[in-house]
C-alpha cells in the first residue's frame, strides 16, 4: 500500500512538473487593449500606455521587440523598439513612417521600408540606432538566411503594351544606394495564361535555405480573389508555380526540417468554401496533395512535426450567398501526412472558434475567441498529453512567441 501511494505521489508530481515546465518556458509579446505587453512564465508586464500598437516582432536574441504605433485605423505608423534589458521603449526614427520591418536572422540589426526605400539600422551602445539607406524602388523584401543580403521585389509598371514583368533583385546589406552593387536575381514573366501578377510579396525561406517562397500578387480587385504561390531556388535559377490562394501570409508554412511547403489553396475571397490544406515537396515532380475533407474548409495552419500539420477547420457554408459573411467556427485538427489520419484536438464551445495555431517546443498554442467579443484567450497544451490550460486572458490577437 505504501509503495502504491509513493508511486501515485511521484506520478502526480511528474505530471505537475511537466505542466509547470511547459508553462514557464513560454515567452511572448502580445497586445491587450491596443497596448504592448510581455509575458514570461507567469509574469505579465505592460510595456506601453496610451498607444495603438501593432505587429510586435522579437529580435534574434530576444533582447528587443520591434513594433508599430499608429492610430485606430492603422494610419501613420511609426516604428518603435522595446529594450528588455534597459526596460524602456524608444523611437529610433521619429520622422519615418514604416509598417514593414524585419530583424536580421543572425544579429540585432533591423531592416525596414519607408515608402519605396529599404533601410538598415546601425548599432549604438548595443542598440539599433540610426540607419543607412540600402536601396530605392523596393516593394517588399526579406533577408537572405546568411544575413548579408536581401531579396527585393520591385512592382511592375503599366505600359501602353501592358504590365511589365516583376523583377527580383539581390541587394547587399551594405549597398548604400550604390546600384553597381545590386544584381538582378530573377524576372517573373507574368503575362501568361497561368500567372498574372504585378508584384511579389511575403518572401519565406525553407528550413535548409535552398528555396524561397512568395506570393505573386495581382491588381487590387483581382488579388482579393486569387494570387499565385511560387517558389524560387536560392541561386535564382529554378522557378516554379505551386497554386492559387488568397493574400494571407500565415497560410504559407515551410516544414521544420525539409523542403516541403504547406499552404491553404483555393480562390474566392470568402472563407465559406474552397480553402484546402495542400502540401508539396520542393522541387515538385508529382501532383500536389490536398488533405481537407470534402464539405470542410481549412482557415489556418502550422507544422507540428516533419510529418504532421495542424489546421483550423470548419464545415463549409455553400448555402450563403448574400448578407453579412457568416462566422466560420473552427476547431484544430492534426493531419498525419504519412498515414492520412486526421484527429480533432481542440473542442471550442458554441459560438467559439479556435484560430492561429502555433507550435513552441512541445507546446501547441492557439487563440480562442467568441464571435460576440472583441478579445480572446490564448490556450496551451503539451502535445504529449491531453491537458490544456489558458495562458493569456483578454488579448486582442494571437501573441508573438520568442523561440
Region 114-138: mean pLDDT is: 95
Do 204 and 105 touch, CB atoms closer than 8 A?
A: no
**Predicted confidence band at 2 (pLDDT cuts at 50, 70, 90)?**
very low
pLDDT value for 8: 41
Please provide the average confidence, as pLDDT, over all residues in the chain: 92
Lowest mean pLDDT among 55-64, 66-75, 149-158, 273-282: 66-75
Residue 30 CA to residue 398 CA, distance in Å, equals: 7
Region 304-328: mean pLDDT is: 95
Residue 236 CA to residue 260 CA, distance in Å, equals: 18
Is residue 18 over pLDDT 90? no
Tracing cell 490577437 back to the chain, one arrives at 397
Backbone angles phi, psi at 14, to 5 degrees: -65, -45
The residues, ordered by sequence, that sit 6+ positions from 46 with a Cβ below 8 Å of its Cβ are 32, 35, 36, 37
Do 139 and 201 touch, CB atoms closer than 8 A?
A: yes
Do 39 and 31 touch, CB atoms closer than 8 A?
A: no
Q: State pTM to two decimals.
A: 0.91
Is residue 305 over pLDDT 50? yes
Share of the chain above pLDDT 90, in %: 82
Backbone angles phi, psi at 305, to 5 degrees: -155, 175
Of 63, 64, 33, give the one whose Cα is nearest residue 48. 33
Is residue 286 over pLDDT 80? no
Region 355-377: mean pLDDT is: 95
Is residue 248 over pLDDT 60? yes
Of 176, 171, 102, give the one whose Cα is nearest residue 134. 176
Region 358-377: mean pLDDT is: 95
CB atoms within 10 A of CB 225: 14
pLDDT value for 180: 98
Find residue 131's DSSP bridge partners: 121
Find residue 331's DSSP bridge partners: 313
Q: Tell me 373's DSSP state.
A: -
Amino acid at each position: 500500500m505504501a509503495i502504491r501511494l509513493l508511486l501515485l505521489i511521484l506520478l502526480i508530481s511528474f505530471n505537475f512538473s511537466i505542466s509547470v515546465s511547459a508553462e514557464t518556458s513560454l515567452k511572448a509579446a502580445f497586445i491587450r487593449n491596443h497596448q504592448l505587453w510581455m509575458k514570461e512564465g507567469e509574469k505579465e508586464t505592460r510595456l506601453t500606455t496610451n498607444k495603438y500598437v501593432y505587429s510586435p516582432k522579437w529580435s534574434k536574441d530576444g533582447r528587443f521587440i520591434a513594433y508599430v504605433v499608429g492610430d485606430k485605423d492603422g494610419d501613420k505608423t511609426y516604428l518603435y523598439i522595446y529594450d528588455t534589458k534597459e526596460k524602456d521603449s524608444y523611437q529610433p526614427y521619429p520622422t519615418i513612417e514604416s509598417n514593414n520591418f524585419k530583424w536580421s536572422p543572425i544579429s540585432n540589426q533591423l531592416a525596414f521600408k519607408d515608402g519605396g526605400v529599404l533601410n538598415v539600422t546601425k548599432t549604438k551602445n548595443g542598440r539599433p540606432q540610426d540607419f543607412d539607406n540600402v536601396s530605392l524602388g523596393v516593394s517588399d523584401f526579406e533577408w537572405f538566411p546568411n544575413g548579408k543580403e536581401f531579396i527585393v521585389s520591385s512592382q511592375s509598371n503599366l505600359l501602353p503594351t501592358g504590365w511589365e514583368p516583376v523583377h527580383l533583385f539581390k541587394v547587399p546589406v551594405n549597398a548604400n544606394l550604390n546600384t553597381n552593387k545590386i544584381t538582378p536575381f530573377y524576372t517573373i514573366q507574368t503575362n501568361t495564361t497561368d500567372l498574372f501578377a504585378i508584384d511579389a510579396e511575403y518572401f519565406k525561406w525553407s528550413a535548409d535555405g535552398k528555396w524561397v517562397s512568395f506570393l505573386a500578387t495581382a491588381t487590387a480587385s483581382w488579388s482579393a480573389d486569387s494570387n499565385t504561390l511560387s517558389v524560387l531556388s536560392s541561386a535564382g535559377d529554378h522557378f516554379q508555380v505551386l497554386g492559387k490562394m488568397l493574400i494571407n501570409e500565415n497560410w504559407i508554412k515551410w516544414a521544420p526540417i525539409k523542403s516541403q511547403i504547406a499552404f491553404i489553396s483555393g480562390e474566392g475571397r470568402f472563407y465559406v468554401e474552397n480553402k484546402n490544406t495542400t502540401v508539396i515537396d520542393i522541387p515538385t515532380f508529382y501532383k500536389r496533395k490536398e488533405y481537407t475533407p470534402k464539405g470542410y474548409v481549412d482557415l489556418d495552419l502550422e507544422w507540428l512535426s516533419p510529418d504532421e500539420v495542424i489546421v483550423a477547420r470548419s464545415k463549409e457554408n455553400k448555402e450563403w450567398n448574400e448578407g453579412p459573411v457568416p462566422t466560420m467556427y473552427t476547431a484544430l485538427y492534426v493531419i498525419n501526412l504519412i498515414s492520412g489520419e486526421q484527429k480533432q484536438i481542440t473542442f471550442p464551445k458554441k459560438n467559439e472558434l479556435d484560430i492561429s495555431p502555433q507550435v513552441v517546443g512541445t507546446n501547441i498554442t492557439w487563440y480562442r475567441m467568441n464571435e460576440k467579443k472583441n478579445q480572446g484567450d490564448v490556450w496551451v497544451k503539451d502535445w504529449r498529453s491531453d491537458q490544456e490550460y489558458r495562458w493569456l486572458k483578454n488579448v486582442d490577437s494571437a501573441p508573438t512567441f520568442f523561440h
